[in-house]
Amino acid sequence: MADIEEARKHFARIDADGDGFITAAEFKTALAQEGDWNVTEAVADAIIKSRDLDGDKVLSFDEFWAHLSK
């Protein structure tokens, strides 16, 4: 997904409360909606942590895009 506009749409779908950040809970819910029911909150938290560049425990769009455009 190298298209930034598609990435923005995908980010917005995951960011359930629309605050501009993806939390572990939102990420877990999004994965479950896509059919991955085996992801626990702890796993979602670890994934967020691995992509969280500033250490605030949530993903901003810039961090989301940085991961996608690797």
Q: What is the CATH number of the domain that holds 63?
A: 1.10.238.10
Range of the domain at 40: 4-68
- Which two structure tokens, joined as six digits, stand for 15? 């960011």
What whole-number distance in Å separates Cα of residue 22 and Cα of residue 56? 11
- pLDDT, tens digit (0-9, with 9 covering 90-100), for 2-42: 699 999 999 999 999 999 999 999 999 999 999 998 899 99
Contact 55, 61 (CB under 8 A): no
The pTM is what?
A: 0.90
Residue by residue, DSSP assigns the chain as ---HHHHHHHHHHH-TT-SS-B-HHHHHHHHHHTT-TT--HHHHHHHHHHH-SSSSSSB-HHHHHHHHT-
Contact 13, 30 (CB under 8 A): yes
Number of domains in the chain: 1
